[in-house]
Amino acid sequence: MTNPFPVARPTRIATSALAVLLTALSIVGLVLGPRGLYADDPATAPAFLGQDMITLVVGVPMLLVAMRAALRGVVAGLIVWMGALFYVAYSYAFFVLDPRVTVLFPAYAIVVALSTYTLLALVVGAGADVVRRGLDIHRRIPRRAAIAYLFGMALLFTVMWGAMFGALVAADANPTTVEHIVWSLDVMFALPAMFIAAVLLWRRRAWGFLFAGMMLLKATFLGFTLLVTTWLAAFWSVPAPLIMTIAFALLGFAGLAITVSYLRAFTRASVNLGAPVAAAGAPAVPASASVSAI
């Protein structure tokens, strides 16, 4: 069957190679991390091990299943494929930016590069083609819930990081390595992306429907990643307050429910080959109809 999306063969090969590399890195990290590969630091070891667990159990299978679905013409598969690549690029940048360089540093750098450029290829290729041709959405999309969740997550972490940064400035202190990396990545990439996706979805732009799905996936993973990291930190005698654990769990499961409901609206959606091309910047039509505007 001919793939309805313009996905080049190198993009598919890069994704498959990325899945193999991620699997190998996760296994090595889980086996050798506690044996000295990762520093015995309660600030970083739980984050690295938690990332390895999530990548192996959820990330790699999701990446491959999403690619397979997208190649069959399922728009939800394309959204998850792009969202998974964004999540991998963001998460493994933490490994690359860690001041403690290990023998796996080149592999981590390759993961970030592969995921970033594969995502760009999908956005300018298949993503742009879907927007140009239009989408057939066959059931009501939870647009308001998605907007509220993305805005809420972006605002929550903006306030959290801002308050922590302000406290450090007031105390004339420096952030830890973890804080420095996480704040940098969030402020430069994750939080603005969530805000932009929410605004585009609120304005019913066709690109917003794609980007919002990607960022819902990222925000959901954020909640579960923090939950797993918090749980692992207890093994380093750094238990988190119960209220924090509950909050991370609620963020993760709320995001999961909204994301699943959101993607189900696209599960049967296909590229509307007959849809007219709308003028750039024109508002998209309601979600229950054909979405064809840029």
pLDDT in tens, 179-236: 889 899 999 999 999 999 999 999 988 889 999 999 999 999 989 988 888 888 877 7
According to DSSP, the β-strands at 135-136 and 290-291 are antiparallel
* pTM (2 d.p.): 0.87
Q: For 54-68, what is each residue's pLDDT tens digit? A: 999 999 999 999 999
The mean pLDDT value of the chain amounts to: 85
Strands (E), 137-268: none
Going by C-alpha positions, the residue among 121, 122, 147 that lies closest to residue 215 is 147
Q: 280 in helix, strand or coil?
A: coil
Radius of gyration over every alpha carbon of the chain, rounded to an integer in angstroms: 20
* pLDDT tier at 74, thresholds 50, 70, 90: confident
Among 243, 224, 239, residue whose Cα is nearest residue 42 = 239
E strand or H helix that includes residue 102? none
Distances (CA, A) of 162 to 90, 153, 154, 167, 168: 20, 14, 12, 9, 10
Tokens of 18: 């990325």
Burial pattern 98-127, b for ≥16 Cβ within 10 A else e, equals beeebebeebbebbbebbbebbebbbeebb
